[in-house]
Chain A
Amino acid sequence: MLVSIYRYNPEKDDAPYMQDYEIELPAGKDLMVLDVLNLLKAQDPSISYRRSCREGVCGSDGMNMSGKNGLACITTVSEAAKNGKLILRPLPGLPVVRDLVVDMGQFYKQYEKIRPYLLNDTPAPAIERLQSPEEREKLDGLYECILCACCSTACPSFWWNPDKFIGPSGLLQAYRFLADSRDTATQERLSDLDDPFSVFRCHGIMNCVNVCPKGLNPTKAIGNIRTMLLQRAT
């Protein structure tokens, strides 16, 4: 199998380039892309990429596999290869640190902006803040996000304005806290989002939904935020 990998080491290379590797894959098994990378790394230790849990939980090995963002550890070679060739590139739109490793700073900054923690100005109860099963249910499909950045780096609006548009991942989390019955800062949160960029740069292209490895739907969450803003203003 031919594997083509994006290579860039800013200390040595003037410009990024694609390097081709030929690898013999064990027959009768459909390896994950991360397994292939590990095999290649044994051949050429200079290849750099991030990974940790190797089971789709930590979100560190998001990358672009033959044109589609996803987690290398849970994407099979047969899914990712096109015409017998596997092309691996870093997540698009973020600065490349080296090879497949990108600088996630801008992505985290947007996450930080939405204040991803409960804000509650009522006195803390003795034990815990309770939620009914119905209230808890509202967080399903939101809390599962592992911040892999596959969605935001597939979103054209995020490519053009990564400093102003929160991006699908951040907005999914914004809604996660807007929808939480224990949070009392809803109005403040909404005010922070009502500008022409933070939410409204989403044009509903749904690239985010298409790539999310956890099957989440940021576009729907963005629609819900818009509805909340609309209800508040009319």
Chain B
Amino acid sequence: MVTQITSFGRSGLYDWMMQRVSAVVLSLYTVFIIGYLLVNPELTYEQWSALFEATWMRVFSLMVLLSIGMHSWIGLWSISTDYIKATGARFFFQSLCGFVMFVYVVWGVQVLWGL
């Protein structure tokens, strides 16, 4: 057993599962948005904002936002433990990633709910 406090869920299985679940959410959203744009080639501002007014769309988007945070954290954490061998530099990189993801999530919530 290798203990590591900076990984996402501490269990390898949990991180692995989350990586897969978030990947599914992200691809569903991508397919949906592309599909929506294809079906509505002459998209107006009203249509677009009406779409994001709907509660289900906000929930879906928030899920995507959280998935992006999780997915990129797990991925970048893996990469940093592979390639950044100096503890200080690795910790700095991981903190930076964590900070950026946090900012994105908060900012995204603001955008979605028009706060």
With a CB–CB cut-off of 8 A, which chain A residues contact B7? 196
Q: Please tell me which one of the listed residues A157, A193, A197, A229 contacts residue B4 in the complex, with CB atoms under 8 A apart.
A: A197
Q: Please tell me which one of the listed residues A161, A192, A233 contacts residue B81 in the complex, with CB atoms under 8 A apart.
A: A161
With a CB–CB cut-off of 8 A, which chain A residues contact B39? none
Contact B13 A230 (CB under 8 A): yes
With a CB–CB cut-off of 8 A, which chain B residues contact A196? 2, 4, 7, 10-12, 15, 78
In whole angstroms, what is the CA distance A198 to B13 when docked? 11
Q: Is the interface of B mostly helix, strand, loop or mixed?
A: helix
A60 to chain B, nearest CB (A): 29
A91 to chain B, nearest CB (A): 20
In whole angstroms, what is the CA distance A226 to B16 when docked? 10
Contact B82 A197 (CB under 8 A): no
Contact A200 B16 (CB under 8 A): yes
With a CB–CB cut-off of 8 A, which chain B residues contact A230? 13, 17
Contact with A along B72-109 (1 / 0, CB 8 A): 00000010011100000000000000000000000000
Q: How many residues of A contact B (CB 8 A)?
A: 19
Interface status of A108 (Cβ within 8 A of chain B)? no
With a CB–CB cut-off of 8 A, which chain A residues contact B2? 164, 195-198
Interface status of A83 (Cβ within 8 A of chain B)? no
Interface status of A199 (Cβ within 8 A of chain B)? yes
Contact B83 A160 (CB under 8 A): yes
Q: Please tell me which one of the listed residues B1, B11, B13 contacts residue A192 in the complex, with CB atoms under 8 A apart.
A: B1
Q: Give the contacts of A167-197 with B (CB-CB under 8 A).
A: 191-197
In whole angstroms, what is the CA distance A196 to B73 when docked? 13
With a CB–CB cut-off of 8 A, which chain B residues contact A164? 2
Contact A195 B16 (CB under 8 A): no
Contact A191 B81 (CB under 8 A): no
In whole angstroms, what is the CA distance A233 to B3 when docked? 19
Contact A195 B4 (CB under 8 A): yes
Chain B residue nearest to A200 (CB atoms) is B12
With a CB–CB cut-off of 8 A, which chain B residues contact A233? 13
Contact B4 A200 (CB under 8 A): no
With a CB–CB cut-off of 8 A, which chain B residues contact A194? 1, 11-13
Contact with B along A139-183 (1 / 0, CB 8 A): 000000000000000000100110010000000000000000000
Q: With A164-B2, A191-B1, A192-B1 given, is the CB distance from A199 to B12 under 8 Å?
A: yes
Contact with A along B1-44 (1 / 0, CB 8 A): 11110010011110111000000000000000000000000000
Chain A residue nearest to B14 (CB atoms) is A233
List 9 A-B pairs, minimum CB-CB distance, nearest first: A200-B12, A160-B82, A197-B2, A196-B12, A196-B7, A195-B2, A164-B2, A229-B13, A195-B12
Q: Which residues of A contact B (CB under 8 A)?
A: 157, 160-161, 164, 191-201, 226, 229-230, 233
